[in-house]
Amino acid sequence: MILLKNEEDLNCLRRANRIVIETLQAIKKNIKPGISTADLDSIAEGFIKKKGGIPAFKGYKGYPATLCISLNEEVVHGIPGPRKIKKGDIVSLDIGVLIDGYYGDAAITVGVGKISAQAQKLLDITEQSLYAGIEKAQVGNRLSDISMAIQERVESNGFSVVRDFVGHGIGRNLHEDPQIPNFYSPAAYNPRLKEGMVLALEPMVNQGTYRVKILNDGWTAVTQDSKLSAHFEHSIAITDKGPLILSSLDDNNSSLQLTG
Ligand code: MF3
Ligand code: CO
C-alpha cells in the first residue's frame, strides 16, 4: 500500500532531508586522501546528532554505521572502517536521517582528486539518470516511466543498471511501497503516480556487468567484474506542480537542480 503524504508530512520530510543533504555536504568537504571511512562516519554521526536527528541506517537490520560508504567497485552498503580514502577513488555516500518520526534519504558519489575520464563519465551519467527519472515523476505517469527513463539514460551511454537493489517509497518508514526498479520489469507493480507520493529514487550504475555479489561482511555489495559503480539518490515528492526534490539544498527549488 502506498501511503500518500499531506503538506504537513512534506514539511517534516523536508526537514529530515535537509539534515541529510547538509551532512552529505559536510562529509564531501572532509573527503581527502588519507582520511578513513570510519572517520567520515563519526563526523556524519556527530553532525546529524548536533542537528537533532538520528542516523537512520544505524541498527537498521543490524547495519552497524551511520553512513554507507562504497568505494570504487563497491556498489552500496559499504561499511565504514579503517580503510583510507585514496586519490583517484570514487566514493559513494548514502545516508538516512530520522527526525520527529520522518525519514530523509539521499546519496551522492564523488571523485577524489583527479579521476579517470571513464570514472567521471560514470558519475555524470548516473546523476543524469537520476534527474531523468525525477522528470518523469509526474501525476498521471506510471512508475515504469521513471524506471525506463533511468535505464534508457544509463544503457544508451554504455553502462548497466544494478538489478538487485531498487528505490522505494519513504515517509514515517525508511522503506515503504512502492519498490522502484531502475530498469523496466514487466512483472513489477506499476501504479499510476499520484500527488502526495514520496519516493526515494536511487539508480546504482555499473561500468561493466550489472551483476553484483555480497562480501562476507554480509553487507557490502560489489560488482562481480570489479569494475566501478556509482550511486545517486534523492527523496522527491510528487505534486500537482511537478516533482519536488526534498533532498535539495535550495529551499525554493520545486524544479530540477543539481546538488551533487
Ligand atoms: N541504502 C539504502 C537506501 O538508500 C538503505 C541502507 S540501509 C542500511 O534505501 F542498513 F544498509 F544502511
Ligand atoms: Co534509499
Angle of helix 7-30 versus helix 37-50 axis, rounded to 10: 140
**Probe residue for ligand 1, chosen from 57, 98, 233 as the CB with the greatest number of ligand atoms within 8 Å:** 57
| Res 249: pLDDT | 76
Burial 131-157 (b: 16+ CB within 10 A, else e): bbbbbbbbbeeebbbbbbbbbbbbbee
CA of 245 to the centre of ligand 2 (A): 14
137 lines ligand 1 (CB under 6 A): no
CATH number for 176:
3.90.230.10
| Res 254: pLDDT | 42
Residue minimizing CA distance to atom 11 of ligand 1: 77
Residue 86 in any domain: the answer is yes
User: pTM for the complete prediction?
Assistant: 0.96
- Pairing label, strands 204-206, 229-231: antiparallel
Query: 225 forms bridges with which residues in the sheet?
Result: none
Residue minimizing CA distance to atom 5 of ligand 1: 57
Residue 185 in any domain: the answer is yes
- pLDDT for 259 beyond 50: no
| Calpha distance 181→167 (Å, rounded) | 6
54 lines ligand 1 (CB under 6 A): no
| Calpha distance 110→129 (Å, rounded) | 16
Range of the domain at 48: 7-245
- Tens digit of each residue's pLDDT (9 = 90 or more) over 7-24: 999 999 999 999 999 999
List helix spans (H) across the chain.
Answer: 7-30, 37-50, 117-135, 143-155
Q: How many domains does the chain have?
A: 1
Measured CA angle at 21 (ends 20, 27), to 5 deg: 90
Residue 225 in any domain: the answer is yes
